[in-house]
Amino acid sequence: MYTAMSDVDFWKDKSVLVTGGTGSFGRKFTELMLRHCELSRLVIFSRDELKQHQMRQCFPDDTPDSPMRYFIGDVRDLSRLQRAMRGVDVVVHAAALKQVPTCEYNPIEAVLTNVMGTRNVIEAALDAGVGRVMLVSTDKAVNPANLYGATKLVAEKLFVHANVYSGDRSTRFSCVRYGNVLGSRGSVLPAFLERRATGRLPVTDGRMTRFWVTLDQVIHFVARSIRQMQGGEVFVPKLPSMNITELARAVAPECEVEYVGIRPGEKLSEVLLSEDEARHAVELDDMYVIRAANRYLAHSWQMGRPLPEGFRYASDTNPQWLAMEELRSLAELASR
């Protein structure tokens, strides 16, 4: 699944900007883009000076042939985004406050970054004439149970309807939506690995299931979706599910599992595609595409098979599951 960067020729001589570019997604995106593609520029836009300094050690910008550029800036600052996007062909919008407890405790800050920041990305991209803009979203945007998911749902809606707002401009907006990323900052796997030495692993609920994807797979899927986007779609990859208790046992079979209860805003299972969305979504061999419900964009995507009535793509009813051996392999990979 998604083992090679899609259509290297598409990316040749492109100027690409990544918001939140010093995060887990941005660093892996940079690594794979530099390895596979011949970009003219790769702009890392983020607000953390230290993380940019650390990233610059791996991906330097001090040679004449380096495509790397580092912009200090915040998506809350429209004027800085406008300056950064000049001459950019593709924007990947990955900047967000994404930790559920943090967003719950700081709701206005989450709205300012995840909603108003997304609006600023749209405005700046339109002003700069960017060709393609892709929002990185999450399964938590479907029937949201917490503020983070709610802000990402709003961000998705803003992106989809920005295609109407763009009018006769060539700028197009789409979204990718996926599940939990193996080993990303703040995810459960690093937490399990850190607590393994204590002999006890805290698990919220033994029934909890999640979609699971590696960072490499995410990057390849995003790159492919950017190439295929026509504007207004939400791209959803087909992913395996895993049970949280089985993951704990795969990471540390010698540890005792301690059930601590679901935190506020958590769900027992995640949904990547709801029954309501399925009515205007289509299925391809390895992904679903949610077409825009807006009548002005309804015919933007023609490929794929219609989904059956009442279809729902959820982690607890998913036909594809990670076996224990696969979970152990993933755990070993993340611990290196």
Contact by Cβ (8 Å): 234, 289? yes
Kindly report the CATH number assigned to the domain that includes residue 137.
3.40.50.720
pLDDT > 90 fraction of the chain, expressed in percent and rounded: 76
**Residues 292-308: pLDDT tens digits?**
887 777 667 889 999 99
Distance between CA 313 and CA 277 in Å, rounded?
10
Tell me whether residue 192 is in a domain. Answer: no
Tell me whether residue 196 is in a domain. Answer: no
Query: Which residue blocks in the chain are alpha helix, DSSP H?
Result: 8-11, 24-36, 49-58, 78-84, 100-105, 107-111, 117-128, 147-165, 188-195, 215-228, 244-251, 275-278, 324-335
Active-site amino acid positions: 140
What are the phi and psi torsion angles at 198 (to 5°)?
-80, -15
Tell me whether residue 122 is in a domain. Answer: yes
Contact by Cβ (8 Å): 148, 265? yes
Q: Which of 33-37, 255-259, 262-266, 283-287 has the lowest average pLDDT?
A: 262-266
The total number of structural domains that make up the chain: 1
What are the phi and psi torsion angles at 313 (to 5°)?
-105, 100
Tell me whether residue 204 is in a domain. Answer: no
Q: Identify any residues that bridge with 248 across adjacent strands, giving them in sequence order.
A: none
pLDDT at residue 6 greater than cutoff 70: no
Tell me whether residue 301 is in a domain. Answer: yes
Tell me whether residue 258 is in a domain. Answer: no
| Boundaries of domain holding 284 | 10-179+214-238+274-314
Tell me whether residue 336 is in a domain. Answer: no
| Reported confidence tier of residue 18, pLDDT bands at 50, 70, 90 | very high
Tell me whether residue 24 is in a domain. Answer: yes
Q: Which residues contact 324 (CB under 8 A, 6 or more apart)?
A: 246, 249, 250
| Reported confidence tier of residue 2, pLDDT bands at 50, 70, 90 | very low
Q: Which residues contact 53 (CB under 8 A, 6 or more apart)?
A: none
Q: Which of 50-54, 248-252, 317-321 has the lowest average pLDDT?
A: 248-252
The mean per-residue pLDDT over the stretch 37-52 comes to 97
Distance between CA 20 and CA 137 in Å, rounded?
13
Q: Identify any residues that bridge with 59 across adjacent strands, giving them in sequence order.
A: none
- H or E element that contains 135: strand 132-138
